[in-house]
């Protein structure tokens, strides 16, 4: 079942009753709204005047619902995750922590190759030159020793948004960097949620290793999925005349990311479901059951 994503951009009081999320609007003259907690996958809390009860937090965690909070710039900045996400969590942690360096280098090679391949497919689908970048996807070596990821990313963004004057990919750069930042933050939460549900530590990566980053593995595994955010943002730039500010309409569109259709091994499923397949394959690599991470292949249709 596809889980729902809820966005709260106005003052609200959130509590729970009879396994339901109860939403009250103190500044609006309308009755409370109730939603089954079991239907919820993600909740985004943007407005600073939102009150949420501890009882609701507990039920959301038990349901593995991702609760995402936002900063003063209205960008997602935190993610609530359960301490126990899987019945075999301790054993799975052990496999992850004991992973050998050659294994992690092989997993990163697969990840980068898949990401670059998807970038090439996306460029091709937009009738943009992609032969060079597709060739690079097949030249990635163990651990990406030659840093093909960075080289391909520079080429990819330069060509993808060539219709936007002055654009370069930079978190603090001009629009649509704001849309990309927001979409990637949502994707990161989706990835972290799937990793926790699989019984893995989102903070222990296969490539990313910054000691100040609590989501190193999430940042690794989301790489081949970034393309679906890019495609959504590209469509917005082709359709909208103004996207310098993140309007409620644009946020609503970006919050459809968990439900986007993606294809893994010829089978389509919502992105949030596909991500769980990917994170489970990551665990199987750690456990020695498999040597292949299941990543999606980009298809614009």
List the binding residues for Mn(2+): 149, 208, 223
Chain-centre distance of CA 164, in angstroms?
25
Q: Are 27 and 13 in contact (CB under 8 A)?
A: no
Name residues whose C-beta falls within 8 Å of residue 257's C-beta, 6 or more positions apart in sequence: 183, 186, 187, 190, 228, 229, 232, 271
Q: For 192, left (φ over 0), alpha (ψ -120 to 50), or beta? A: alpha
Measured between alpha carbons, how far is 94 from 24 in angstroms, rounded to an integer?
A: 44
Instruction: Say if residue 27 is exposed, middle or buried (CB neighbours under 10 Å; 0-12, 13-18, 19+).
Output: exposed
Enumerate the known binding-site residues: 149, 208, 223
Written as one string, the DSSP assignment of 9-22 is -S-EEEEEETTEEE
Measured between alpha carbons, how far is 80 from 207 in angstroms, rounded to an integer?
A: 23
Tokens 């495609």: give the residue: 231
**Which residues sit opposite 261 in a β-bridge?**
270
Measured between alpha carbons, how far is 296 from 227 in angstroms, rounded to an integer?
A: 10
Measured between alpha carbons, how far is 273 from 263 in angstroms, rounded to an integer?
A: 11
Tokens 């609530």: give the residue: 80
Residues in the chain: 301
Q: Which two tokens stand for residue 14?
A: 């959130």
Cis, bond preceding 221 (omega within 30 deg of 0): no
Tokens 């089978």: give the residue: 267
């Amino acid at each position: 079942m596809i889980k729902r994503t809820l966005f709260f951009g106005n003052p609200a009081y959130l509590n729970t009753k009879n396994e339901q999320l109860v939403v009250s609007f103190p500044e609006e003259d309308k009755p409370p709204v109730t939603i089954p907690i079991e239907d919820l996958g993600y909740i985004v809390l943007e407005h600073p005047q939102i009150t949420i009860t501890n009882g609701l937090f507990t039920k959301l965690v038990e349901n593995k619902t991702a609760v995402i909070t936002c900063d003063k710039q209205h960008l997602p900045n935190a993610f609530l995750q359960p301490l126990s996400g899987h019945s075999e969590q301790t054993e799975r942690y052990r496999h992850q922590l004991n992973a050998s360096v050659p294994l992690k280098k092989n997993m990163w090679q697969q990840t980068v190759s898949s990401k670059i391949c998807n970038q090439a497919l996306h460029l091709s689908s937009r009738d943009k030159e992609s032969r060079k970048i597709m060739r690079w996807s097949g030249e990635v070596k163990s651990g990406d020793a030659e840093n093909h990821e960075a080289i391909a990313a520079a080429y990819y963004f330069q060509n993808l948004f060539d219709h936007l004057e002055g654009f370069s990919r930079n978190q603090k750069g001009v629009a649509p960097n704001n849309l990309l930042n927001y979409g990637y933050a949502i994707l990161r939460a989706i990835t972290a949620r799937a990793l926790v549900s699989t019984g893995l530590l989102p903070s222990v990566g296969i490539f990313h290793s910054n000691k100040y980053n609590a989501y190193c593995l999430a940042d690794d595994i989301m790489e081949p999925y970034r393309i679906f955010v890019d495609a959504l943002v590209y469509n917005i730039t082709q359709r909208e005349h103004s996207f310098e500010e993140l309007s409620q309409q644009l946020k609503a569109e970006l919050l459809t990311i968990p439900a986007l259709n993606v294809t893994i091994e010829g089978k389509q499923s919502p992105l949030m479901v596909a991500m769980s397949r990917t994170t489970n394959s990551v665990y199987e690599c750690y456990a020695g059951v498999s040597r292949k991470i299941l990543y999606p292949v980009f298809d614009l249709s």
